[in-house]
């Protein structure tokens, strides 16, 4: 994965993880690395995150533990070049991340596309709770009609507190990033943020003994 890179892999992996895990800007990381005797430009760190975060997330998906069959589905807002875009997310009853998808619109097609991807990776749920969003309800109904599935839908705001609280980690990191300039950059960075969030929740089968940081480094090995 890191073949041909100018900097050693441990430096690259550390910068990527610190950016995804903590409320740091790229310029913060540039200064922190300079204090450790490493001269690296903030734009270079940005390129590392955009390039390697999706690769590491793809590796983690292969080791992701199963989730429950009762999901909470919702979307949150992400600003990209001054415009609001929508991050669809779902967690199970215990708060474990099911899946996520960045979409340009909040409509039936986007909800259905998210559900297709989530089911393909995690199996079909028996129950999905949503808020009062008509688009999400229509998306699940369309998926049931298309596939013959029998997913039960409940629209209860109280039951969606689990996923709304889970949004907080992602929102805090997005605020620190001060928005995104392109959809591609946003999608890659958000994939990495979701990865470190899953590691914190213990959703990836242990690849190394020790902390989340060791797990992250093991994914890059």
Query: What distances in angstroms separate CA 192 from CA 60, 93, 186, 215, one per listed residue?
Result: 10, 23, 10, 14
> Crossing angle, helix 42-61 and helix 9-21, to 10 degrees?
80
Is the pTM higher than 0.75? The answer reads yes
Q: Residue 120 has what pLDDT?
A: 96
Q: Residue 4 has what pLDDT?
A: 81
Locate the DSSP E strands across the chain: 70-80, 83-92, 97-103, 127-130, 152-155
Q: Residue 210 has what pLDDT?
A: 83
Q: What domains sit in the chain, N to C, each tagged with a CATH number?
A: 9-64+181-219 (no CATH), 70-169 (3.30.420.10)
Distance from the first to the final alpha carbon of the chain: 9
Q: Residue 176 has what pLDDT?
A: 75
Distance CA 186, CA 192 (A): 10
Q: Residue 82 has what pLDDT?
A: 87
Which are the contacts of 68, defined by CB distance < 8 A and separation ≥ 6? 92, 93, 94, 96
Closest CA to 143 of 169, 112, 168: 112
Residues of the chain with pLDDT under 70: none
Output the CA angle 89-91-96, nearest 5 degrees: 130
Partners of 128 in the beta sheet? 71, 153
Q: Residue 175 has what pLDDT?
A: 81
């Amino acid at each position: 994965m890191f073949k041909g890179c100018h900097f050693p892999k441990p430096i690259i992996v550390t910068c990527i993880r610190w950016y995804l895990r903590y409320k740091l800007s790229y310029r913060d990381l540039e200064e922190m690395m300079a204090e450790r005797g490493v001269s690296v430009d903030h734009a270079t760190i940005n390129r590392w995150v955009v390039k390697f975060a999706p690769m590491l997330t793809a590796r983690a998906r292969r080791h992701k533990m199963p989730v429950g069959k009762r999901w909470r589905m919702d979307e949150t807002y992400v600003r990209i070049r001054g415009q609001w875009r929508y991050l669809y997310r779902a967690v199970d009853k215990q708060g474990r991340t099911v899946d996520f998808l960045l979409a340009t619109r909040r409509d039936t097609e986007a909800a259905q596309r998210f559900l297709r991807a989530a089911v393909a990776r995690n199996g079909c749920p028996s129950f999905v709770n949503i808020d009062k969003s008509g688009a999400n309800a229509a998306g699940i109904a369309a998926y049931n009609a298309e596939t013959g599935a029998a997913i039960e839908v409940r629209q209860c705001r109280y039951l969606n507190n689990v996923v709304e609280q889970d949004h907080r980690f992602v929102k805090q990191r997005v605020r620190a990033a001060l928005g995104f300039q392109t959809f591609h950059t946003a999608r890659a960075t958000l994939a990495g943020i979701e990865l470190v969030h899953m590691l914190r929740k213990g959703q990836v089968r242990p690849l190394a003994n020790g902390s989340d940081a060791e797990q992250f480094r093991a994914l890059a090995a």
